[in-house]
Amino acid sequence: MRINRITQVLAASVLGLTLAGVATPALADDPGSGIDVSVNIEPTTTPGQLSMTVADNNGVSLQENGSDAAARQFTGTLPTVTVTDTRTPEEIPAGEYWAVVGQASQFVASDDPAKTIGPEYLGWKPRLLSDSSTGAVSAGEPVSSVVSDGTGAPNVGLEGQELLVSTANSADEIGTSQVNADLALRTSVDVAAGEYHSTLTLSLFNQS
C-alpha cells in the first residue's frame, strides 16, 4: 500500500510540470485498509520423552594421584551426565521410575593386548550436580576398587552395573537432572606399565 501511494504522488507532480497553468485536482487522503492477521496455535501433540546425554564425551584420562605403599591410584572425573524428562504427568505411568547405571569393560594395554586390568579395579563416587526440589532424584552410592580405598565402600568396582543416579518416582520431579562421578582406578603396586583403555558404558532405563 505504501509503495502505491508514493507512486501516485510522483505521477501527479510530473503532470503538473508538463501542463503548466492547468489546475489539477487534489488527491484525496487514503486512510488505508486494516487487515486482520490471525493464527490458531493448537496444543502440541508431540509426546514428551525421557533421554540422556553426556557432555564433552571425548573420554577421560586418569592421572596418578594418591598412590601409596598399598596401591597405585589413578583418578579423573566422569563428564556431566544429563537426564531430561519432557513428559507431562499424564504421560508417565503410575509408579514408574528411571535410573542410570554404569559398567566398565576390561582395561587393555595398547602395546600388548595380553596385558589387562579388570573392571573391578575401577571405582566411582557419583555426585548430584542439580538441585532436587522434591528429593526424588539422588546419586548412587560409591563403589571402591577391589583394592580398597579405605572408605568402607563396597569393594566391587564397576565390573557389574552400578547405579549412577535414579529417581524413586518419575512423576515426582519432571525436568532435568545432572550428575557426574569421581573415578578412581586402584591397582596393585606391581601393575605392568603401559597405556590402558576401557569403555565405561552408561545406560538409562525406566520401568514401573
All structural domains of the chain: 50-207 (2.60.40)
* Residue 46 pLDDT grade (very low, low, confident, very high; cuts 50, 70, 90): confident
What whole-number distance in Å separates Cα of residue 181 and Cα of residue 72? 20
Percentage of the chain with pLDDT > 90? 71
Q: What is the pLDDT of residues 71-118, one digit of tens each?
A: 999 999 999 999 999 999 999 999 999 999 999 999 999 999 999 999
Predicted confidence at residue 132, as pLDDT, reads 86
Predicted confidence at residue 69, as pLDDT, reads 93
Who's near 75: CB < 8 A, 6+ residues apart? 62, 63, 65, 66, 182, 183, 184, 185
Does the pTM surpass 0.85? The reply is: no
CA distances (Å), 200 to each of 8, 38, 57, 85, in order? 74, 53, 11, 23
Unique residue bearing C-alpha cell 564433552: 56
Helix (H) or strand (E) segment spanning residue 206: strand 200-207
Predicted confidence at residue 135, as pLDDT, reads 87
Predicted confidence at residue 17, as pLDDT, reads 28
Question: Residue 155 carries which side chain, given as an amino acid letter?
Answer: N
* Residue 26 pLDDT grade (very low, low, confident, very high; cuts 50, 70, 90): low
pLDDT tops 80 at residue 136: yes
Question: Residue 163 carries which side chain, given as an amino acid letter?
Answer: L
CA distances (Å), 21 to each of 9, 18, 24, 51, 84, in order? 18, 9, 9, 80, 79
